């Protein structure tokens, strides 16, 4: 099963901008759910950074998406992106399954490095050296995340990987598969489900 | 892979998938959490959680929210028990608690959890079935809280007196979805899912809006 490219998200609001130079700085999106921290030395001159809310088409998406600019700069030091979430957004997943993804030029979503999850503060932080469209995502889901069943009735549960290594290469990065309605990538054989 | 109990439901299955079977009697609380443990490459475990609400066949369960000038209901879990069942319509009585935020003018906001008046005249849901005539596939519902609270009001502008208001929830918190003039009743395509939103501009400042999602069993 190939990774699934998605449409590019349409802007849903105005961008928040800030000019940040070689000394570094930070910028928080208008909804307060994404903060980017630019460390000293990441850019060598005053640069306009922006965060714009967009539709989130990412696989395993949680909340809205964000268009981060500039997208034509490779930062000399990694920037830190911290996404916030709410507990009621985690139906079928959990804090340890969260991460961030960005949309590549081929419109495939790629898992971004190793996230740091603070379940108390309800934040997920990743580092990046480039910008594009970004989103908070769940790497795995247990479907259905919520269900209502009658007494003595049954419901089938399945672990679905939203991000996995594509079939063509073990060294390839994790990329997104349809998992919000569909099948996702095959789960590993040793996952287990219990009450 | 196996888990659970006869009282709360059981889980059985193989790697990556399982089947949850609900108990013969709805548990209290009605929602149980099923977890999946997925090993990670770093030796840790990713924990995935799914909430499953168990209802008697024919009933509904879900969440309700409401906004008005004097109070709001933050997402609250409600179960609807069927009390009447005919080919044309079914009637349900609610149970649960409302997460209220009272915002009476000149008073300090007060958050309180109040039970739903399950036997109140203003607490019921009517679901019209396909054989329900002109109202086929439509429904309406009413929710009423019970209890009373005291609001702290007035002060501290220059020498303003403080005073209290006894707020009777049964009189003040009555929410009627589907009675707004010139507005259609909520409707459904699948009787197992009653979900939607409803806004009523009202007169002067008594407008309100509500959102809800009530799910029934797949056996409907």
The reported pTM is 0.72
pLDDT at position A186 over 60: no
Contact A189 B15 (CB under 8 A): yes
Query: Does A144 contact chain B (CB < 8 Å)?
Result: yes
Is pLDDT of A193 > 70?
A: no
Judged against a pLDDT cut of 80, whether residue A91 lies above it is answered with: yes
Supply the pLDDT for residue A111.
Answer: 95
With a cut of 70, say whether residue B66 has pLDDT above it: yes
Nearest CA in chain A to B192: A148
Confidence of residue A149 (pLDDT cuts 50, 70, 90): confident
Q: Is the pLDDT of residue A181 over 70?
A: no
Nearest to A190 among B15, B33, B215 (CB): B15
Give B-chain residues touching A89 at CB under 8 angstroms: none
- Name the token pair of A146: 């919520």
Q: Would you state the pLDDT for residue A7? A: 93
A156: which chain B residues are within 8 Å (Cβ-Cβ)?
17-19
Tell me the C-alpha distance between A43 and A50, whole Å: 14
Nearest CA in chain B to A188: B16
d(CA A45, CA B198): 52
Q: What is the pLDDT of residue B210?
A: 96
Give the pLDDT confidence score for residue B1 in this predicted structure. 38
What is the mean predicted confidence (pLDDT) over A63-67? 96
Interchain pair A142, B46: CB under 8 A: no
pLDDT at B219 (0 to 100): 47
Closest CA to B20 of B58, B54, B67, B47: B54
Listed residue (A47, A58, A56, A52) closest to A20, CA to CA: A47
ipTM of the complex: 0.84
Which segment of A54-68, A107-121, B205-219 scores lowest on mean pLDDT? B205-219
Beta bridge partners of B208: B68, B200
What's the whole-number average pLDDT of chain A?
90
d(CA A111, CA A113): 6
Q: Is A188 on the interface with B (CB under 8 A)?
A: yes
| pLDDT (mean) for B28-43 | 87
pLDDT of residue A79: 97
Report the residue of chain A nearest B220, measured CA to CA.
A150
| High-pLDDT (> 90) share of chain B, % | 57
Confidence of residue A189 (pLDDT cuts 50, 70, 90): very low
Q: Tell me which residue of A46, A2, A3 sits closest to A22, measured CA to CA.
A: A46
CB-CB neighbors (< 8 A) of A90 in chain B = 49
Predicted pLDDT at B83? 87
Of the ranges A45-49, A91-95, B55-59, B130-134, the best mean pLDDT one? A45-49
**CB contacts, 8 Å: B25 with chain A:** 151
B14 vs B34, more confident: B34
The full DSSP string for A148-174 is EEETT-EEEEEEEESEE--TT-TTSPP
Mean pLDDT of B31-47: 88
Task: Decide if B37 and A148 are in contact by the 8 Å CB cutoff.
Answer: no
Give the closest of A140, A153, A190 to B48, CB-based.
Answer: A140
Helices (H) and strands (E) counted in chain A, each on its own, are: 0, 17
Q: Is the per-residue pLDDT at A167 higher than 80?
A: no
Q: What is the pLDDT of residue A120?
A: 96
Report residue A99's pLDDT band, with 50, 70 and 90 as the boundaries. Answer: very high
Residue B215 predicted with pLDDT over 60 = yes
At A170, the pLDDT band (50, 70, 90 cuts) reads: low
CA B125 to chain centroid: 12
Q: Tell me: the pLDDT tens digits for B152-179?
A: 999 887 778 899 999 999 889 999 999 8
Summarised one tens digit per residue, pLDDT across range B69-109 is 999 999 998 989 888 899 999 999 998 899 999 999 999 99
Best to test chain B binding among A95, A119, A148, A162 (most B CBs inside 10 Å): A148
Q: Per the CB < 8 Å rule, is B22 touching A149?
A: yes
């Amino acid at each position: 099963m190939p990774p699934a490219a998605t449409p590019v998200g349409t802007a849903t609001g105005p961008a928040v901008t800030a000019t940040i130079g070689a000394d570094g700085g930070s910028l928080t999106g208008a909804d307060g759910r994404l903060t980017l921290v630019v460390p000293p030395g990441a850019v060598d001159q005053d640069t306009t950074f922006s965060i714009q809310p967009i539709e989130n088409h990412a696989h395993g998406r949680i909340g809205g998406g964000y268009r981060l600019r500039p997208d034509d700069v490779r930062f000399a030091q990694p920037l830190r992106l911290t996404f916030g979430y709410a507990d009621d957004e985690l139906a079928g997943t959990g804090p340890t399954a969260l991460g961030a993804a960005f949309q590549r030029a081929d419109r495939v979503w790629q898992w971004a490095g190793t996230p740091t999850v603070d379940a108390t503060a309800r934040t997920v932080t990743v580092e990046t050296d480039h910008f594009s469209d970004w989103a908070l995502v769940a790497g795995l889901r247990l479907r259905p995340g919520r269900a209502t069943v009658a007494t003595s009735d049954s419901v089938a549960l399945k672990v679905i990987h939203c991000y996995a290594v594509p079939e063509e290469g073990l060294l390839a990065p994790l990329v997104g598969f349809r998992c919000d309605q569909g099948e996702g990538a095959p789960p590993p054989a040793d996952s287990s489900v219990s009450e | 892979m196996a888990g659970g109990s006869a009282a709360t439901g059981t889980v059985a299955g193989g790697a990556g998938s399982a089947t949850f079977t609900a108990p013969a009697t709805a548990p209290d609380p009605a929602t149980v959490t099923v977890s999946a443990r997925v090993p990670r490459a770093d030796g840790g475990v990713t924990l995935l959680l799914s909430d499953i609400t168990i209802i008697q066949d024919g009933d509904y369960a879900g969440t309700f929210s409401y906004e008005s000038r004097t109070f709001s209901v933050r997402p609250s879990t409600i179960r609807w028990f069927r009390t009447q069942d005919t080919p044309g319509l079914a009637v349900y009585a609610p149970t649960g608690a409302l997460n209220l935020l009272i915002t009476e003018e000149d008073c300090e906001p007060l958050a309180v959890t109040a039970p739903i008046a399950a036997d109140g005249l203003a607490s019921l849901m009517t679901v019209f079935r396909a054989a329900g005539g002109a109202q086929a596939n439509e429904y309406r519902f009413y929710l009423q809280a019970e209890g009373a609270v005291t609001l702290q009001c007035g002060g501290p502008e220059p020498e303003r007196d403080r005073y209290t208001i006894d707020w009777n929830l049964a009189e003040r918190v009555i929410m009627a979805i589907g009675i707004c003039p010139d507005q259609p009743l909520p409707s459904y395509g699948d009787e197992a899912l009653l979900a939607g939103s409803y806004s009523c501009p009202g007169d002067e400042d008594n407008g309100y809006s509500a959102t809800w999602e009530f799910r029934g069993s797949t056996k409907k």
